Amino acid sequence: MRKIPDLSFWKLWNISFGFFGVQIAYALQSANISRIFSTLGADPHDLSYFWILPPLAGIIVQPIIGALSDRTWTRFGRRIPYLFVGALAAVAVMCLLPNAGSFGMTVGAAMIFGLISLMFLDTSINMAMQPFKMMVGDMVNEKQKGLAYSIQSFLCNAGSLAGYLFPFIFAAIGISNIAPKGVVPDSVIYSFYIGALILILCVIYTSAKVKEYPPELYAEYHGINKDDKKEEKTNMLQLLIKAPKAFWTVGLVQFFCWAAFMFMWTYTNGTIAANTFDAPSIVTAAGATVIDTASVQYQTAGDWVGILFAVQAVGSVIWATIIPQFKSRKVAYVVSLLLGAIGFISILFIHDQYMLFGSFLLIGCAWAAMLALPFTILTNALTGGHMGTYLGLFNGTICIPQIVAASLGGIILKAFTTEGSIPPEVNMLVLAGIFLIIGACCVGIVKEKN
């Protein structure tokens, strides 16, 4: 088997640069979906159900993209065509989703429009995101994969930082941060527009700069011979059965980590609005006590959540430079998740908006590990021509826990809620911390190839 040559830093950078734009789109979605649907009129107990669609789209789309791109060879490459099509679709939907409340539709119709837009947005983001992970597996040798995924992690967090800050920045320069009941503020709408523009520019850059290996050279680098062509007919179930132990053991850790972050994305807006900004409550027509999402306090809290998520991204960037200093990946994994757990649980006791920076810096440590370590461990354990399919299937360890958490989130929150009080969404963040502790305990069974 021919050895994949070392690549220069800038070639590694170019492979992942488009991820910056994709992550801006993902950050805007993560930080604003609960805010958008709450503004449209969603009950807090139902918020988690809106979050089922994104991971559901991912678990369907990413294995398909992985399997199809494993068999695709064009003059533009094997992964890049899917990246480009996904980005174009994401740009279109990003211009529609935040306008769900602006077309004069009823509350129900606006909700349905928003749900359909969200489904297409996450499908296209997943389609654009997966090729970057696959190209690292395709084009980077084992010695440089740690660096390649660290660069990807840096660009991911830099994109997150930009996406999280956009609404706050637009509000600060005078763009309206409030709107009529049921309408999303202009500061959020313009953030999606700018994010869409940056996304397509970044993807064009990567598409122009990266030249994927042709089929014959790829086969030499990955030890594929003519006899392996028969294996191309292997279905996904057979591949799962043959998956290396690292696939399953890391997948178990992933389950608790991604369930925790699903709770963060779903319930941080309500937590910060109630616990830090003292947003007023109202009684709905159904008799439920909820936060007044049309209040200035709620929309200000929504902007501050973007700041906190940006702080998390900064913490992640800083911690990503520390992770390689650990001699053991598993030790780095455990320490990172435990620091994240402390961050989540501490939110229960903190009511000052600036003190929360410490909590989210710690959460960023867990996020940095989740972005880099699982894929480094997995791709080092994979060989042959099914890299894309395996990475697509591995996305199930990201999507399934989110689906489970989104499905059960409303039920769990109702169990915490007392009659006449607003739902204590902060309890869900404490539960997220407990999940990270369990995930850290599960790292001990991870089997990795050195």
Minimum mean pLDDT among 3-7, 126-130, 387-391, 432-436: which range?
387-391
What single-letter DSSP state applies at residue 2?
P
pLDDT in tens, 73-123: 888 888 899 888 999 999 999 998 888 877 778 878 888 888 888 888 888
Residue 435 token pair: 């999940």
Nearest Cα residue to 37 out of 103, 89, 108, 123: 108
Minimum mean pLDDT among 69-78, 157-166, 270-279, 361-370: which range?
69-78
- Residue 449 has a pLDDT of 63
Domain boundaries, given as residue ranges, for the chain:
9-209+237-445
- Residue 369 has a pLDDT of 92
Higher per-residue pLDDT: 180 or 297: 297
**What are the Cα distances from residue 228, in Å, to 224, 225, 383, 389?**
6, 5, 12, 15
What is the rounded average pLDDT of the residues 190-194?
95
Side-chain-side CA neighbours of 12 within 13 Å: the count stands at 21
- Residue 387 has a pLDDT of 67
Sorting pLDDT into bands at 50, 70 and 90, what band is 195? Answer: very high
- Residue 447 has a pLDDT of 78
The rounded mean pLDDT for the chain is 86
Q: What is the Cα–Cα distance from 53 to 102, expressed in whole angstroms?
A: 22
Contact 285, 304 (CB under 8 A): no
For residue 110, the SS3 value is helix
pLDDT in tens, 276-290: 999 988 887 777 888
What is the rounded average pLDDT of the residues 340-358?
97
On the question of pLDDT at 190 being above 90, the answer is yes
pLDDT in tens, 206-262: 999 999 888 888 888 877 775 555 445 556 777 777 777 888 899 999 999 999 999
pLDDT in tens, 134-188: 888 889 888 888 788 778 878 888 898 889 889 889 989 999 888 888 788 899 9
We find that the CATH architecture of domain 9-209+237-445 is Up-down Bundle (1.20)
- Residue 99 has a pLDDT of 87
What single-letter DSSP state applies at residue 232?
G
pLDDT in tens, 382-432: 766 676 677 778 878 888 999 999 999 999 999 998 888 888 999 999 999
pTM assigned to the model: 0.76
DSSP 53-82: HHHHHHHHHHHHHHHHHHT--BTTBSSHHH
Q: What is the Cα–Cα distance from 188 to 172, expressed in whole angstroms?
A: 12
